[in-house]
Structure 1
Amino acid sequence: MCRIKFLILNILLLCLLISQINSQGLPDIPRHEVLIVDNHKGRIIDPYDFNYWKPGNIEEGGGLHQLLLDALWYLDPQTGKVINSLAESSPSYDKDYKKLTIKLRKGIYWSDGKPFTADDVVFTINYHIKNTGLTYSEFFIRNVSKAYKLDDYTVVVEFKNPMPSFHHIFSSLVYNTCYIMPKHKFEREKDPLKYKFYFPISLGPYILKSFDINGYWRLFERRQDWQRTSVGQIYGMPTPKYILFIYYGIDEKKIMAQSRHELDLIFDLTPEAWEVLRKSNKYSRVWYKDFPWAWMDDVRARAIGFNLEKYPYNIKDVRWALALAIDLTEVVISGFKGIFRINPLPICANNILINEYYLPLEKWLSDFKLEGDFAPWDSQISYKLEEYLKKIGYVYEGDIRNLFGIGWWKYAPDVAEKLLLKQGFRRDKNGKWLLPNGKPWVINIISPSFNEVQGMRLAFSVAEQWKKFGIDVNVETYDSLIYVVKISSGDFEVCSHWTIPSFDIYFAIQQYHSSYYKPSGKLAFSQNFIRWKNKKIDNIIEKMITIPPEDEKAKELIMEFIKIYVEEMPSIVFTTTFKFCAQDNYYWTNFPNSENPYMAPVWWWGLFKFMLPFINSTGRK
């Protein structure tokens, strides 16, 4: 209650500030014609730089990949559907998976009038191979023998080795997608690492109309020839004439903006912030109408990850000790108000994958033992949390495990202590843990800041658990750009991250192969920023890449990967990435929700562009 009162006070104090922000340089367009979207990634550092394909240009919240760029395929995790976007059909491999044929959609044009053809796709691959410093260069160099076109709408890619999952690099699920480059723009550039792709042309249904030179907003306008885009061909005209991506900052500012109907779509809020918003704006809505409110089926899970090159986190016993020193019920209740789907494994615990992977592994998890014959699996934690729900007046109808998950690790500080003592750690006279060399043990956790509120909360909640166990802990928060650079370069000891995969686990696992390993100081390839090297994992991956993802043998290998991950505990995985992605239904309506789940509610993904034809105007002006 105190927290809510504090938020309300802050909102009142910020009212004048927000009015000033919205009057300084925002475009003068009719409000009922513009959909206003939260740029959750923060202020854009270089507003003139639209070169998505160079390393470090990780701007993912300002509309670039949502509205201007396009991929061959998109996966909607809410429906399980694959959208054939720039590709007119599914990828077609030959029988030994050493050649891929891609049929492209006809009638698609860049916003400058040039047709989209096989030349653009082939160029994207070969340009990355030729210019080795681009984001996806290493992947293409490692796997592609040659890429060429059979005709203007047929692409062939030949591989050095069998590669049945190659198409994932061109498939959009959250981020890390190789969008297609305009050949006629980039082929003239001698140094693509310096090229800013300004003024950008679009392959999506919108074009850039204007932007704030200080990086706070970008305005996009629907293309007059929207029929010549994948969205237009598949679903029809996007409803809003304009879309404004804007950075407001902290929750209090977002709440005030949406309460004033100046922000239609919010990326995420804390539970307390949502409580304030729903009471202040009757038009605001999140996924569920009632508890647990949030959208629980995101395709990433949150974890506390270790830099496995840094002592003492390179020791398995230490990592397991830190896991067993955490009372998850306290984390869930004090840190997340009971809104939490427990996710102990390195694959998302959404409804589909629980049935496919979690339940078949349940017996193995129950039988799994650490050294000393201790069984760490706790199958009763969901029932403990059910008691909390009853105390707050909520009764869940059905199996409580469908809400909270099937289990996690036991709270066993006594076992954690034995593991640390075994490795030479000891406590001082005040009960504080010392390293084997006698120096105080201080854990430094880095976390994204308020733009990833659940990740930040996880960092602070875990820090409190380890402090209670007798370890000094510091938490440092960073804006997204700085945070991602730090974990990618290995400039951290422990981090709060959200890279645990879901439906793309087949592809994500491959990034742990030691051939992709980069030491701290060099940018790591996507998934393996924890610097994990394991010969057993290499063997699994080398078998996997010769087997198609849908093969039952691939699933068996993924199960083996999960078991090794549990045994080694390179990251402690906690929860699916749920979102209080608030929608204001005052000017616009028919956003996806639990009663109308036609698509995932993800305006920060590339998938967002396909939602836009379904949105309706309310007629208010």
Structure 2
Amino acid sequence: MVRLGRYVLAPLAGLLLAGASTAQEMTDVGTPRNETLIVQTFDGKSANPDVQNPLNQYAIWRGFRELGWSFLWEMDTATGQSYPELAAGPVEVLNPEHTKFRIKIRPGVFWSDGVEFTVDDLIYTLDTSFKYKDKLTFVARTTNYVKPDSWSKVDNYTMDIETVSPAYDFQTVLGVYTWGSLFVPVPKHIFEGQGDNVVTYKNTNAVTLGPYKIKEFDPNGFWQLWELRDDWQRSGWGNLGTPKPKYVLYKDFGAEETRTLAFVQNQYDVDTFMSPDSIAAAKARNPAIETFSPTLPYHDMNDACSYGIYFNQQKSPYDLPEVRWALALTVNLQQVAISAVSGQFKASALPLADTPITDPVFYQPMLEFLNGLTLSDGYKPFDAGFGDGMVAALKAQGIPEADLPTGDAVKQGFGQGWWKFDPAQAEKLLGSVGIKKGADGFYTKPDGSPWTLDFVIPADWNKVMQRTGFSIADSWKKAGFNVTARQADNGEFTTVQNTNAKLDLMVNWSTSCTYNSNWFNSWNSFSDAFVKPADSNEPLQGNYVRVTDPEIFKLVQDSKSLEIGSEPFVANGIEIAKKLTSGMQLINLMNIPTTIPTNSTYWKNYPKQENFYAAPYTWWSSFKKTIVNIEPTGK
């Protein structure tokens, strides 16, 4: 068999027609189809598939954190509660100040090459992270959190460690908060022989701690194949349950048009952010294809993150709140939602997602603030009736009434409200800072020179957010902004996010990820330590919203000594949210509509609305819950 990137060439006699059934149908990577769970990669093609060192940034979205790595503590994404994985139990707090801790790990956990995992691996990971912190690219949070040289070995399964400041969020910083962990243990017996070369060490064909090991990967970056370890019970999460697939294949099936056809033909089992119209077309052709819920909004809306528009608010004219508010009031979110996701979304006006977990903690206590929010000229921008408007618009589009929410379910489905669509008010705000329309109908800078907005959006690797970005740009252009929606691949997109000199505007999700009352994991980097000059080419390590407000910085700093989830801690989070919102420091749009259709031809019992045992995301570490809960169909 010859492998060429995304494709495999096989002898003609061995080819199978798509969707055909045989006694032993094989995948194009040589594994039995009925033993292989196949998922579309989150990030499309990887540029450097041989780079697998978790101390550096690399393509983590293709099974490493989901199958290969294991963490001290994991997150139950159905409840928002942390639980021990490698750890033997909760972290032990050793002093009243919450700066000294004891970690105990489970004995009998082994790396995939048969070497036992001990605290020596944790200590080596910490030693290396601190020694090379200025050269490694994935250790900044840990090295700013843990006190240098504070860790010590008690025995093979016990260690003590200190933090720089009081740390009530220890388990979710050294463990998992949402998508994965900022602290990934590496095998000392593999890495220590690299010496100073550890900073450039690729770690190709990595030794793993989870139940799966790398069997093969495409050197061109289109796919990665994982195989269940023979000794999976001795792995980092082998105690969670029996992993059902013998193999898991992460594969990029190409542009959405191509992969939709492959999905219909049962070539893979779980997609990632397929657009709603493609899902509808696929369901019409294959009854095994299902959405998260059979009724609107059809998809899971419980991601920790939300889509938002990010500014370089250190750069003129985005440093002016009037400009930022004008851009918010010219986003016709109702039309954006219908055009981009067929109305299958949930609006979130605050800078965090509105979910069943965050709603009672943040949204309900802030409704009075939203309804009473007033701009400097007395204008009230909040539209509490946004959801009712969505229902009316979708009904006019021909959506059956049986599929539309009514009563209290309207706000549960479409959110508590959003900002008014008011181009006239936006023009008034812009005029107050000297920005007016030129003869061509587009807004100009205060000196009369042309103003072109560079709006960065994802390319095909995130089709849903790409379409959302195009629709926002269309809304702005109609309102008089000369905007260019520039598509970027995953690598460039991240570079723009992290580099002041490259960012004017972008649609993103990076700093609006709050899963429960612990807002700190999302906003902890709001600090002057993460502020760089407006035109800097030096990569940011956080604070991608470009917050410069010292009052927000103080609220974050003061919260470090507060217990996570306590009333004062939540109150500080609410104050930060108020400041971000009143200054429109980012335009939060909607909960991420995780449009993830599944195909039950070969596997069943995926997480669904009525069977919500875990978030249904194949790119979060909690995908392990899916791995142990799905069942083969017998086909």
Q: TM-score range by the shorter chain?
A: over 0.9
Match of 1:619 in 2: 634
Match of 1:13 in 2: none
Match of 1:47 in 2: 49
Deviation at residue 136 of structure 1 after TM alignment: 4.1
Deviation at residue 562 of structure 1 after TM alignment: 0.5
Give 3-state SS (helix, strand or coil) of 2:358's partner.
helix
Deviation at residue 205 of structure 1 after TM alignment: 0.5
Q: Is the 8 A contact 1:517 1:525 kept in 2?
A: no
Match of 2:331 in 1: 326
**450-459 or 241-250, larger mean C-alpha shift:** 450-459
Cα distance between partner residues in 2 of 1:112 and 1:401:
52
Deviation at residue 397 of structure 1 after TM alignment: 4.2
Give 3-state SS (helix, strand or coil) of 2:210's partner.
coil
Q: Is the 8 A contact 1:231 1:610 kept in 2?
A: no
Deviation at residue 22 of structure 1 after TM alignment: 4.6
**487-496 or 135-144, larger mean C-alpha shift:** 135-144
Cα distance between partner residues in 2 of 1:403 and 1:71:
34
Give 3-state SS (helix, strand or coil) of 2:472's partner.
helix
Deviation at residue 332 of structure 1 after TM alignment: 2.1
Q: Is the 8 A contact 2:119 2:157 kept in 1?
A: yes
Deviation at residue 492 of structure 1 after TM alignment: 1.8
Work out the percentage of aligned pairs sharing the same amino acid: 29
Cα distance between partner residues in 2 of 1:486 and 1:432:
25
Deviation at residue 595 of structure 1 after TM alignment: 2.0
Cα distance between partner residues in 1 of 2:260 and 2:294:
18
Give 3-state SS (helix, strand or coil) of 1:231's partner.
coil
Following superposition of structure 1 onto structure 2, how do residues 198-597 of structure 1 map, counting pairs within 5 Å?
198-235=204-241, 237-391=242-396, 392-394=399-401, 395-399=404-408, 400-490=410-500, 491-499=502-510, 500-503=512-515, 504-519=518-533, 520-526=536-542, 528-597=543-612
Which of 156, 171, 176 is equivalent to 2:175?
A: 171
Q: Is the 8 A contact 1:587 1:619 kept in 2?
A: yes
Deviation at residue 407 of structure 1 after TM alignment: 1.0
Give 3-state SS (helix, strand or coil) of 2:161's partner.
strand
Q: Is the 8 A contact 1:37 1:266 kept in 2?
A: yes
Change (3 A) 1:261 1:22: farther
Deviation at residue 430 of structure 1 after TM alignment: 3.5
Q: Is the 8 A contact 1:537 1:561 kept in 2?
A: yes
Match of 1:6 in 2: none
Change (3 A) 1:431 1:213: closer
Match of 2:161 in 1: 157
Cα distance between partner residues in 2 of 1:326 and 1:244:
39
Q: Is the 8 A contact 2:6 2:253 kept in 1?
A: no
Cα distance between partner residues in 1 of 2:489 and 2:552:
33
| 1:193 partner letter | V
Cα distance between partner residues in 2 of 1:137 and 1:250:
34
Deviation at residue 309 of structure 1 after TM alignment: 2.6
Q: Deviations over 1:542-566 (max 9, x none)?
A: 1100111121110010011011101
Cα distance between partner residues in 2 of 1:53 and 1:226:
24
Q: Is the 8 A contact 1:305 1:495 kept in 2?
A: yes
TM-score (norm 1): 0.93
Match of 1:5 in 2: none
Give 3-state SS (helix, strand or coil) of 1:181's partner.
coil
Change (3 A) 1:335 1:48: closer
**79-88 or 45-54, larger mean C-alpha shift:** 79-88
Q: Is the 8 A contact 2:5 2:220 kept in 1?
A: no
Q: Is the 8 A contact 1:254 1:263 kept in 2?
A: no
Deviation at residue 81 of structure 1 after TM alignment: 3.6
Cα distance between partner residues in 1 of 2:270 and 2:143:
39
Q: Is the 8 A contact 2:306 2:590 kept in 1?
A: yes
Deviation at residue 433 of structure 1 after TM alignment: 0.9
Cα distance between partner residues in 1 of 2:111 and 2:83:
20
Cα distance between partner residues in 2 of 1:19 and 1:112:
28
Cα distance between partner residues in 2 of 1:269 and 1:199:
30
| 1:521 partner letter | N
Cα distance between partner residues in 1 of 2:167 and 2:453:
40
Deviation at residue 186 of structure 1 after TM alignment: 1.6
Cα distance between partner residues in 2 of 1:571 and 1:407:
17
| 1:420 partner letter | L
Q: Is the 8 A contact 1:42 1:61 kept in 2?
A: no
Deviation at residue 234 of structure 1 after TM alignment: 2.4
Cα distance between partner residues in 1 of 2:250 and 2:139:
30
Change (3 A) 1:19 1:262: farther
Q: Is the 8 A contact 1:322 1:416 kept in 2?
A: yes
Give 3-state SS (helix, strand or coil) of 1:254's partner.
helix
RMSD: 1.9
Give 3-state SS (helix, strand or coil) of 1:427's partner.
coil
Q: Is the 8 A contact 1:111 1:223 kept in 2?
A: yes
Cα distance between partner residues in 2 of 1:42 and 1:331:
25
| 1:516 partner letter | F
Q: Deviations over 1:30-88 (max 9, x none)?
A: 11111111112121212221112214x2x132212211111112213323343311112
Cα distance between partner residues in 1 of 2:567 and 2:592:
27
Q: Is the 8 A contact 1:301 1:575 kept in 2?
A: yes
| 2:49 partner letter | P
| 2:400 partner letter | G
Q: Is the 8 A contact 1:342 1:408 kept in 2?
A: yes
Runs of 5+ consecutive residues of structure 2 not aligned to the other structure: 11-26
Which of 202, 211, 234 is equivalent to 1:196?
A: 202
Q: Is the 8 A contact 2:77 2:622 kept in 1?
A: no
| 1:615 partner letter | I
Cα distance between partner residues in 1 of 2:428 and 2:307:
27
Give 3-state SS (helix, strand or coil) of 1:426's partner.
coil
Cα distance between partner residues in 1 of 2:569 and 2:257:
46
Match of 2:620 in 1: 605
Q: Deviations over 1:452-489 (max 9, x none)?
A: 22221221111111111111110111121221122112
Deviation at residue 539 of structure 1 after TM alignment: 0.8
Cα distance between partner residues in 1 of 2:157 and 2:340:
52
Deviation at residue 176 of structure 1 after TM alignment: 5.6
Cα distance between partner residues in 2 of 1:187 and 1:517:
34
